[in-house]
Structure 1
Amino acid sequence: MASIFLQVLALLAVLYILQELHNKFMKKKKKLHPGPKGLPIIGNLHMIGKNVHQDLHKIAKRYGPIMSMRFGVVPIIVASSPHAAEQFLKNHDLVFASRPDNKAAQFIAYNQRNITFGKYGPYWRNIRKLCTLELLSTLKINSFQAMRKQEVTNFVTFINQAASNGVEVDVSAKLASLNANMACLMVFGKKYVDDEFDERGFKDVIQETLILAATPNIGEFIPFLDVFDLQGLTRRMKKLAKIFDDFFERVIDEHVHDSKEEKQTKDIVDTMMNIMQSGKAEFEFDRRNVKAIMLDLLIASMDTSSTAIDWIFSELIRHPKVMKKLQNELNEVVGMNRMVEESDLEKLVYLDMVIKEGFRIHPIAPLLVPHESIEDCTIDGFDIPKGTRILVNTWAIGRDPEIWPEPEKFMPERFVGSNIDLRGRDFQLLPFGSGRRSCLGLQLGLTIVRLVLAQLVHCFDWELPNDMKPNDLDMTEKFGLVMARAQHLRAIPTHRLENILGISNEQVE
């Protein structure tokens, strides 16, 4: 035992000496961006806690908007300003278009076969093209409009009953359930209850996946420690990978069995199976590829939209004047005799301001998904070596006082007369990323966020339970690739529209 301990100490000493020599060589050869000095072996890992985005924001205040760090042996660049984000996501987009290797990509994403974690290259470009033209086209998204309307009506019906009974609603849980139903119907063609996926349900498994994927993995940054799996991340990811794979295999088998049935609206798995069986894909496209894309679509359509609505609606409850102003707009555009339709959304100007402000202060992906440089590059006179990992801190950008006056305040009016949009052209606001790796589901995601949020505000008034004041609402964040609320939002609805579902509220009661 003592012998092994001495061998480990000797190995660490050798690694330390080699690293110091490497660092001195790099400093002579490369001019790196300013950043904090790292410790031997671990680099700057000791500076990072549970809320990585907040920790990086604090450090960047000292070292600048483009900051150089080192996590173990991996060079890191943190971009914390619109100018910095533009450099990486637009001006040098191709150089930083790839993704780093990580355990989540290996075990859960079928060895980087999906769009989110895929390495940049011919395969990734073909997969993206297939998704853009076949799976997430405007025509395909519009084909699910009747389904979205029905599911939103079911959602409102549930809340309407709660309002009649005067009971509180776990808004976070109901939003998760609504988005799970819509995601399953669009992607798989039918609803699956939580138990058919896993005993913990869709939301908990997906949230664990996103948290693990965003957690700095010591084994990845200090390779000789990888075999020990000190944080248990690899073990947990393998378990999650089996849950997803077993479920996806069952879904594909069901589609193969039912392939002869005529469907009025083909779901996304139907479309992918047709492509796979026809052989018309210009690249290898088998079950692994289908499952990898299913993973992307399931997580993106199920978790990101519900999380965004959760945060924005929480801010509306905390700011009754903003809520009232939005309700007034809905009164004028929609009226008090019906629910909001998708055709109304383009006319709701203040709703769009509320959503932009929500994305600014609560970005869905606080560090986006990490990028990786595929070759050496120079930005603003500083060198960035090949293989550097890029973290774009959208959470910090949204709180930059030089760009956003009073950044901690929720003020949708800051967007009055502004041309800033959400499509990645304006680097002050990047909820869906920008450039080659921007989110393909932007149109669908925005439609769902706008539609569901509008129903919550238009159909009901809300108050917090137990005489809680709006300012007392817990807004603690839970860090992950998608940043969720740490605590569920619970609130009590009351009827606002008299004839919300074609029957009077008295009949409901």
Structure 2
Amino acid sequence: MRKSEKKKENLPPGPPTLPIIGNLHQLGSHPHRSMFELSKKYGGLMSLKFGSVSTVVASTPETVKDVLKTFDMDCCSRPYLTYPARITYNLNDLVFSPYNKYWREVRKMTVVELYTAKRVQSFRHVREEEVTSFIDFVKQSASLENPINFNQKTLKLSGSVICRVGFGMNLAGSKLEKTYDKVIVQTFEVLGSFAAADYFPVIGKFIDRITGLHRKCEEVFKAIDSFFDEAIKNHLQDESIKDDIIGLLLKMEKGEIGLGEYQLTRNHTKGILLNILAAGIDTSAQTVTWVMTHLIKNPRVMKKLQAEVREVIQNKDHITEDDIERLQYLKMVIKEAFRITPLVPLLVPREASKDVKIGGFDVPKKTWIHVNIWAVHMNPSIWKDPESFFPERFRDNEVDYKGLNFDLLPFGSGRRMCPGMGMGMALVHLALINLLYRFDWKLPGGMEAKDVELGESYGLVCPKKVPLQLIPVLTQWT
């Protein structure tokens, strides 16, 4: 009877499956790339089976728009994911929580209280102070001709900003100071992993213990939980801390500020803080690193961009966020970096909350839905010569990355779009302007532009696999 019912469904096409594992053997180490190759044969909406889980993958602007906009309400919930549930205090966060009343209240709170343009602007002095400190470090490295590890140092920069903005404390001296880069990177590895526990209900957790995923998750959770305890204790003891995000959440715990019908508990607070800590640090850091990677690999673009920045800034000692709007080529370069190396190439999986029909195909209730952003960005029918880094493709092109154009979606779109985009991009712009205005850059050890690797490590956010090492050179503007 079940077989006859399935035959009536017009499911999207997909590759043959193997017993028990389904199509898991076809994912490889970079699932977004593997899925893109499969979609070339099976289409923009494709069926896959991961263990016991039925999945569809959207890989074209048309199918992605259906998932993220047309049927957003029916496709915006989340499946239960074992290790994200652990790290987010049983899905008390914004990213992995299923679509329900609690999620809607938290989303509304973050948009209204945490990520408004006014709130972003109120922390401007923090960004400027931390970027100044970062530039002082770069100057010291330049005078000694020491290479800078961008993977590490941009994490420290964004970590310092987020700790002050979100937790009212400095990263230096905290419990995360010596391990924050490892903890943040491993957090995204865990959150983006294809965990056996999610696809094999009976033996999955045993498999994850063998692979070490379970142990890694526990280590990450304990490190972050300890930091949150320290940050909350510090906030309660220091009466001078008034305008940070922890303070807002603690008022909600006490009922001084309402969250609809919900009373926040400490686990709710920590779950929300996890999003702010991890997403706030890693996305900004990786964006700066990837932009600098593409610039050093493309000297023509670097030269053109530095010329624009130096013409606009013109001997200003103190660069501020007011200078950003006049840098049109910088905006093109950032768009192109987002296109060719999106930070989240495969969006967090969604789950259909009811039967829907997408592109003429049936997507049954409880089906997992993967949105392959990388496939859209690499589609040659949309982007000419998609593997080439060519910012000029955005000249006289209205496509933006703010979720309204389905050809370019680095932050997603719809209800699940990243709410902290404005906060993160303010830091990205300010850091890049300073790095490009004040310094010239060269590769260490006789390396040439063609030697720069573009491979990424896979996780929820994909960092550069081989750390970017660059030597700053002092200029007349330094």
TM-score grouping bracket, smaller chain normalisation? over 0.9
Q: CA deviation at 1:329?
A: 1.0
Task: Report the alpha carbon displacement of residue 284 of structure 1 after superposing the two structures with TM.
Answer: 2.2
Task: Output the CA distance in 1 between the equivalents of 2:162 and 2:356.
Answer: 40
* 1:24-43 matches, cutoff 5 A: 24-43=3-22
Residues 49, 55 of structure 1: 8 Å contact kept = yes
CA distance, structure 2, for counterparts of residue 66 and residue 351 of structure 1: 34
Mapping for residues 5-84 of structure 1, pairs under 5 Å: 22=2, 24-84=3-63
Number of the residue aligned with 1:233? 213
Q: Show CA shifts across 1:11-65 (max 9, x none).
A: xxxxxxxxxx85x345313110011011111111111111111111111111111
* 8 Å Cα contact 1:315-1:358 kept in structure 2: yes
Residue 180 (structure 2) aligned to one of 189, 193, 202: 202
Query: Which whole-Å CA distance do the structure 1 matches of 2:89 and 2:10 have between them?
Result: 37
**Paired position in structure 1 for 2:252:** 275
> 1:367-382 residue pairs with structure 2 within 5 A?
367-382=346-361
User: Is residue 288 of structure 1 aligned with residue 267 of structure 2?
Assistant: yes
> Are 1:315 and 2:294 an aligned pair?
yes
Distance in 1 separating the partners of 2:355 and 2:362:
7
The one-letter amino acid of 2:183's match is: V
Matching residue of 2:82: 103
* SS in structure 2 at match of 1:95: helix
My pick for the range that moved more, 457-466 or 98-107, is 98-107
> Structure 1's 205 and 88: CA in aligned 2 closer, same or farther, altered over 3 A?
same
Alignment of 1:242 onto 2:222: yes
> Once the 2 structures are TM-superposed, how far is the Cα of residue 338 of structure 1 from its aligned partner?
2.7
Distance across 1 between alignment mates of 2:393 and 2:371: 23
Instruction: Please list, as runs of the form range in 1=range in 2, the aligned pairs for 1:303-382 lying within 5 A after superposition.
Output: 303-382=282-361
Amino acid across the alignment from 1:245: D
Aligned to 2:202, the other structure's residue is in SS state helix
- 2: CA distance, partners of 1:132 / 1:420: 24
Q: 2:101 aligns with which of 98, 122, 125?
A: 122
Looking at structure 2, the residues matched to 162 and 209 of structure 1 have their Cα atoms a distance apart, in angstroms, of 30
Report the secondary structure of 1:177's partner residue: helix
Single out whichever of 54-63 and 238-247 deviates more from structure 2. 238-247
* Aligned position for 1:406: 385
Cα distance in 1, alignment partners of residues 155 and 173 from structure 2: 11
Find out whether 1:190 has 2:169 as its counterpart.
yes
Aligned partner of 2:401 in structure 1 is: 422
Measure the CA separation in 1 of the matches of 2:299 and 2:177.
39
| CA deviation profile, 1:429-488 (whole Å, cap 9, x unmatched) | 001100000000011111111111121111110000011001111221101100001111
2: CA distance, partners of 1:196 / 1:442: 27
Which residue in 1 is equivalent to 2:232? 252
2:74 is paired with a residue whose SS is coil
Q: State the alpha-carbon separation in 2 of the partners of residues 236 and 399 from structure 1.
A: 32
- CA–CA separation in structure 1 for the residues paired with 2:316 and 2:54: 58
User: Could you tell me which residue of structure 2 aligns to residue 212 of structure 1?
Assistant: 190
- Percent identity over paired residues: 38
Q: Aligned AA for 1:209?
A: T
SS state of the match for residue 492, structure 1?
strand
Q: Give the Cα separation in 1 of the matches to 2:175 and 2:386.
A: 43
Runs of 4+ aligned structure 1 residues displaced above 6 Å come to none
- Contact in 2 for aligned 1:337/1:497 (Cα 8 Å): no
Q: 1:262 to 1:278 in 2, by over 3 A?
A: farther
Equivalent residue number for residue 199 of structure 2: 221
Secondary structure at the aligned position of 2:393 is classed as helix
Is 1:167 the counterpart of 2:141 in the alignment?
no
Give CA deviations for 1:150-200 in whole Å, capped at 9, x if unaligned.
11011111111211222222222111111110110111111123871275x
Larger radius of gyration between Structure 1 and Structure 2: 1
CA contact (8 A) 2:403 2:417 kept: yes
Q: CA deviation at 1:496?
A: 2.3
TM-score normalised by the chain length of structure 1: 0.90
Q: Distance in 2 between matches of 1:135 and 1:379?
A: 34
The alignment partner of 1:246 has SS state of helix
Matches of 1:399 and 1:497, distance apart in 2: 39
CA distance in 1 between partners of 2:317 and 2:134 (Å): 15
Residues 324-376 of structure 1: per-residue CA shift (max 9 Å, x gap): 11111112211134353100101111100000000000001010211111111
**Contact 2:59-2:371 at 8 Å conserved across structures:** yes
Asked if structure 1 preserves the Cα contact closer than 8 Å seen for 2:456 and 2:464, the reply is yes
SS at match of 2:387: coil
Distance in 1 (CA, whole Å) between partners of 2:222 and 2:476 is 46
**Range that drifts further, 245-254 or 360-369:** 245-254
Distance 2:447 2:319 in 1: 29
After the TM superposition, which of the residue ranges 244-253 and 439-448 deviates more from structure 2?
244-253
Could you tell me which amino acid in structure 1 is paired with residue 182 of structure 2? Answer: D
Other structure's SS at 1:75 match: strand
Q: Secondary structure at the match of 2:6?
A: helix
- The answer (yes or no) to whether the contact 2:159–2:281 under 8 Å persists in 1 is yes
CA displacement, residues 263-320 of structure 1 (integer Å, 9 cap, x when unaligned): 4x61111121122223432212121111011100001111111011111110000111
The answer on 1:482 being equivalent to 2:470 is no
**Residue correspondence of structure 1 range 131-150 to structure 2 within 5 A:** 131-150=110-129
Unaligned runs of 5+ residues in structure 1 are: 1-20, 501-509
- TM-score (normalizing by structure 2): 0.96
Query: Which string of whole-angstrom CA distances, capped at 9 and with x for unpartnered residues, describes residues 94-138 of structure 1?
Result: 011111101123210011110010110100000111111112222
Find the aligned partners of 2:316 and 2:237 in 1 and give their Cα distance. 45
Structure-1 separation of matches of 2:405 and 2:327: 21
Q: Is the 8 A contact 1:194 1:202 kept in 2?
A: no
Counterpart residue identity of residue 52, structure 1: P
Q: What whole-Å deviation, never above 9, does each CA across 1:374-399 have from its counterpart, x for those lacking one?
A: 11111122100111111111111111
1:394-417 per-position Cα deviation (integer Å, ceiling 9, x unaligned): 111111000000101000000000
Equivalent pair of 1:72/1:222 in contact (CA under 8 Å):
yes
**Aligned residue type for 2:245:** I
| Residue identity matched to 2:122 | S
Cα separation, 2, equivalents of 1:356 and 1:141: 21
Question: How far is the alpha carbon of 1:426 from its aligned partner?
Answer: 0.2
Cα offset, 1:90, TM superposition: 0.3
The Cα RMSD (Å) is 1.5
Equivalent residue pairs, number: 474
